[in-house]
A and B are shown apart, each in its own frame.
Chain A
Amino acid sequence: MSLPQGVRAGLLVGAVALALVPLSGDRFWVQFAGKLMITCIYAVSLDLLVGYAGLVSLGHSAFFGLSAYLLAGLANGLGLVSPLATLPLCLAFAGLAALLIGWLSLRATGVYFVMVTLAFGQMLYYLFSESPGLGGSDGVSILQRPRLAVLGRTILDLGDRTAAYAAIWVALVLSFLLLRRVVQAPFGHVLTAIRINEGRMRTLGYGTGRYKLAAFVLGGVLAGLAGYLDATLYGFVNPAQFGWRQSGLVLVTVLLGGKGTLYGPALGAALLSVLEHFAERATEHWSAVVGAAVIAVVLFLPRGVAGLLEGSRG
């Protein structure tokens, strides 16, 4: 299904506006927009699971955190800084972890699936926060950010805020286009159909477990990409990135924006970031303001903010 005309135009304007943020020269807004774009990648990766495959995961942060920690390990432990090496390794690691966790947790359905994924996320949280060798609860600083050098000459230094920002922008655009392609392909239709009625898909000859696992792995790889970029932008990783709060927040982002649309969760990430920022400035009880806004959206816009923009589909 193609995007409504207005949504397409809005996305284009949003992408151009984000590309222009570094021109402001304001460090805070560059960092803010960079973080926002990472959250968008993270949210659209979860939307593939929640909105298309119907898999409500509370362990999505596992892949974000594992990828971020691996980047720290490669940079600090092995001195490996080339993104040509670290990025594929981190994504493959997140994908393998998703394959293992997905293979185990997809044996459960419904609320049991939610609980199993939550348990995996929490296991990793406690493993990393209670292992001094992994930085413990303090986390780990990344001593060298990803840097690409050719013949001794640095051509891309992601320690530079603007370069990192540009890389995040490219990653967001590519992730979004990739997922649009995936959900518009027969694979995406199969996921949607599985969400609506899995038994019916089995009678059409689909081994639905494999499709769900493939979606889980793809979502995990993209969450790993978000984790890699987050670690690159901040130069720091900590166990909270594995925690249920992180997984819960990104799930709220997906629901707020409108699941099953891809652009909705991206919109949700933007709205939540902006709302948090201004609520923080206005009151010390900012989290109550954000919570009230989320409750209002859930009650009055069951299809999220995207439901306002889209027609009757759904």
Chain B
Amino acid sequence: MQLCTQLATHSDTYMKKPFIALFFQVIVLFSTITCLSGQTTRYTISGYIYEKGSRETLVGANVYEPNFRIGSTSNTYGFYSITLPADSVEVIFSYVGYVPVIKELVLTENLRIDIELDPSLDLQEVVVTDERLTRISQTAQMSRLDVPIQQARNIPSLLGEKDMFKVLQLMPGVQSGTEGTSGFYVRGGGPDQNLIILDDAIVYNASHLFGFFSVFNGDAVKNMQLFKGGFPARFGGRLSSVLDIQMKDGNKQKFTGEGGIGLISSRLTLEGPIIKDKASFLISGRRTYLDALTRPFMSDDGFGGYFFYDLNSKINFDIDPNNRIFVSSYMGRDKFFFKDEYKGQGFEDSSEGGLFWQNTTATVRWNHIFSDRLFANASFVFSDYLLEIYSKERYKDLIYNETSAFDLTYNSGIQDVGLKYDLSWHPRSNHHVRAGMQFLHHRFTPSAIVLRNEDIGRFERNAEVHRSLESGIYLEDEISFGDYLKINPGLRFSHLYTDGKTYQYLEPRFNSNLVIYPQVSWKASFAAMSQYVHLLSTTGIGLPTDLWVPTTKKIAPQRTWQVATGFAWDWLARNLEFSVEGYYKESTDIIGYKEGASFLFIEDPENAEEFSWEDNITSGDAWAYGLEFLIQRKAGRFSGWIGYTLSWIEHQFDDLNFGEKFWARYDRRHDISLVGIYEVSEGITFSATWVYATGNAIDLGTGRFPVITHPVTVNDEGNQGNNPWWYSANVYDKKNSFRAASYQRLDVGLQFHKDITRFGYPVKRTIELGAYNAYSRKNPFFYYWEDRMIYNDYGYETNRKLMQVSIFPIIPSITVNFKF
């Protein structure tokens, strides 16, 4: 009753704002019903779960009482709440890879207990506890992948750069795009259908180096979860996946750092207390230096280069036991550039150009604990993405003293400003209610061109600015019915206002888990999703030139619904998890480029006002279905996983393939991943990954044929032309009917760990040797036809050979990592 009163008080405060009032009224109604049920005296234990030594909060830590068989988990801020009968209780706090803590208590009142878990778990031990709620067979949520951050640091990688996205691509249901790129495709969805959030802020282009690396520095990441289906109602705005990433908060107890020196980049992370146990900071940076290393070898007349950098920073402050403030930011930039000058007899010629793209995000968050059972988070988020391409040419005739100039600048971007408010409430031990609202203002500039040429004068197409307001309100409840059934029903209402038009949708969500046998459960889920921002991707290879475009009056939101079902099994004796899931998904109004269209096309600048990106895109439907298998061992001397995906992805666009269905470019029938990490000894770790995928679907011309069009001019007799126009064009079969060769790759890595001393300080040093594509498999990047001349007695004739371009042979790497 006390709790119900608290909620009623808070709702009165906002009664003047109808929208928020309705939201709170629903909560109060629900809480009243819940509060009136149940007469047993219960008390709540709540608090934060930290990592011992750093005071870093632990996400998803397990809290369990085995006698009453009641459990809970810590939320994304490390806060937990468990309600137990007034009695003697034994509460087990545990987390994978950490030494569990057991508290024996006699409950006579609500308790606030913060827990520290020791990460110094002996690698030889496999602690098997009855950690029910962290077990896959016990969670209501299905289709969720917890990216193993610690394991990810041991997995071999391209050029030694640890990339969380590449680890995701090793999971079932998640596919990579083209060779080496870090864009990912989840259950048939394109790269724009993944919501990537870093501390609540959306990251739009999460790639460096033309898609070969992601922007996420693993040293700064605390937790990473990918939802492939069964999306909880608190997530919305994308169709295929949600990648929720939390940055570390920073060590509140001592100053530490870690870093690494690699072949193409180096990184450094520093963290430490500002006020011990109350406030801390974290700053983590990374930069390539290939441009700096190669610059001395280039002349001043002609040079080029590429670099990227990224910087994560965070400050957090515990105002009091019930209030915390976090300020986090991310800034990253990629730049490719060249400059060339030439002086000839009587003239000077110079050109320079390049392209760059950058992401900036910032988040301010406030955690507030209303009571032992009610936790809230308010966030202010900012996100900015910009792409710019530029080119300049100057020609000077020294004899006639004449100059000519050409300038081109193209930019495109998206900027978001938003507010979020989320509540987490544990009214009873078998209920976990979440509710919240989100408002996000989008500002798009899909394209803007400035072109100056001596012949045409100056042409400028100003940036078309599109603004839209996206909002969402949700309610979900995770309900346990004894030990055997858990359900998580939810409802999300999403809304968009743009161009004077309103779109709004109800998005029901549902997850369930039914234990059918000890440690074995059957799961099922349903989710309806809407998406209001779109990525125009040329052929889907994830180039930075892909355009983010808004929903407008002409371009409708994308929508999908997905059902999934499967089984999960925890083999506790071997510390193994098995899961198999089947899914079916239908999407409408997905967008793509029309045939031949490009993001930057000005043949005739004087008529470019008539060119609009909206006229260059088309919309259609998609169907995706498949099966996913996963066997995983998260801890122990030998860990890793085996994943297999069998899937189909079809598209249908009225403007493509003459309206007939066709395979999506990233449709791969079979996808297998084997990942193994073995602790050879305390100082040596060996790891290997092997991936195999059948070829993706490509549009490939198969021949040439004469194209004869209708002549419309007339001859002197007044008849239409006798000689038609002849061309030669490519023969295409059904769109994307060509299957590339299968993709396979073996990566191996060997790490040598050693404790050393430098400048009087203890340092953990790891030297990592690795080989990417260890047996140098020629995986296709793209195909093209090459003309071959064949000479014979009659002259010559031509035919064509299909050629394959591959980009990554065996690539060894050596990286030195350190931690102090």
Please indicate whether A and B come from the same complex rather than being unrelated chains. Answer: no
Using a CB–CB distance below 8 Å, which chain B residues touch chain A? none
Q: Residues of A with Cβ closer than 8 Å to B?
A: none
